[in-house]
Amino acid sequence: MEREKRILLCVTGGIAVFKAAALTSKLVQQGYKVKVIMTESAKEFVTPLTFQALSRDHVYMDTFTEPNPEKIAHIDIADWADLVVIAPATANIIGKLANGIADDMMTTTLLAATAPIMIAPAMNVHMYDHPAVRKNMETLRQFGYTYIEPNEGYLACGYTGKGRMAEPEDLLSMVDHHFIRQENPLWYGKKVLVTAGPTQEEIDPVRFFSNRSSGKMGYAIAEIAAARGATVTLVSGPSALTEPHGVELISVRTAEEMYKAVDSRFAGTDVVIKAAAVADYRPKHSHTNKMKKTDVDISIEMERTTDILKSLGEKKEKQILVGFAAESENIAENARKKIRTKNLDLIAANSITSDGVGFQVDTNELMLYDANGQEYLIPLTTKKQAAEYLLDAINPLMEEK
């Protein structure tokens, strides 16, 4: 069996230490093996016992404490790590590393580490912008260190600005992405365009036609593609979902807006995955003012929207084009027809009448059909896991291209 990935978490002094504790818990829950080093100042905010309980391992603090006489602790844990994360990273630790200073357990370990190092800065906005700090950060960037950029917002010192450490969820996502990217080099640097969510076709300023799509499948695909190292653009209709980490989000509302956003980016794209549930029809005339209720029935004349997927299939050159088919009957027949008529490389079809499948749920079951007549089943699973399987199915297509 594949061994657990090993994370060395270096915790320096600052109010954001409480986020490092939350990160430790999330890493362990995700299946990572975590060891923690704390500076003396970090212990002023959260006790070592907290990190020991969360990591289920010894917490390292003193260079001269050697629990195992057969090993030198700071060298041993430096060699042990697959990835080093410094969170929070103060201006002090950044300055020490940039200038090769090793005067405590953390700095001696970091200078001995050969694993990739991620830094999550956390400090006052003016400290973050100080020329010395910026210079030290650039030095470490040239050394190959990766930064997890701080957020803007209210800081513990009372200022508002950039310097608040990234949230534990974002840090965990960056760690996940690091390992997923290593395991999926085929996707690194590829330009991927994903569509997601419904569209809304206006009747009047109050009413519109739409559908039940939540965007969950498309957002999961975009997130996993980004985690594999792709440069991802997500064109999304109205959705309540959070923007996936590392993804460029283009928000649209109507089918026409989605068509223009996708069409303008298609030429420079390697893979297009069209998971959006786009309206096939829209009102031929929309009203400027709200339609008033009357005592008689009304009818609304509808017209076809642009078939985005078919349009892309007609323009396709080197791109891999993947479609979705949400069906209530004749799933295989309808999916294979779409492959032919829309010039697709792959289509993912599902039954919207099955339990746990389709719109507004966190799970999905997909049947994949390719242009060569092969088919693959993705059994009922989470939409994120289904996205993993879908991208795996695209791998052979990328290799052929």
Instruction: With beta carbons less than 8 A apart as the criterion, state whether 53 and 24 touch.
Output: no
Q: Are strands 320-327 and 271-274 parallel, antiparallel or unpaired?
A: parallel
- Among 377, 84, 360, residue whose Cα is nearest residue 241: 360
CA dihedral for 179, 183, 189, 194, sign (positive or negative): negative
Catalytic-labelled residue, pool 15, 157, 291, 300: 157
Question: Residue 186: how many CB atoms within 10 A of its CB?
Answer: 15
3-class DSSP assignment, residue 161: strand
Cα–Cα distance, 365 to 348 (Å, whole number)? 9
Residue 70 exposure: Cα atoms within 13 Å on the Cβ side = 0
DSSP H or E stretch at residue 7: strand 6-11
Q: Are strands 33-38 and 59-60 parallel, antiparallel or unpaired?
A: parallel
Cα–Cα distance, 203 to 234 (Å, whole number)? 26
Cα–Cα distance, 291 to 88 (Å, whole number)? 56
> Can the peptide bond before residue 88 be classed as cis, meaning omega within 30 degrees of 0?
yes
Cα–Cα distance, 175 to 171 (Å, whole number)? 6
| Cβ contacts of 358 within 8 Å, gap of 6 or more | 326, 350, 351, 352, 364
Active site residue 10: no
**Which 3-state string (H, E, C) describes 175-227?**
HHHHHHHHHCHHHCCCEEEEEECECCEECCCCCEECCCCCCHHHHHHHHHHHH
CA dihedral for 90, 94, 99, 101, sign (positive or negative): positive
Sheet-wide strand order for 6-11: 59-60, 33-38, 6-11, 83-89, 117-121, 146-147
Cα–Cα distance, 182 to 116 (Å, whole number)? 12
Q: Which residues are catalytic?
A: 157
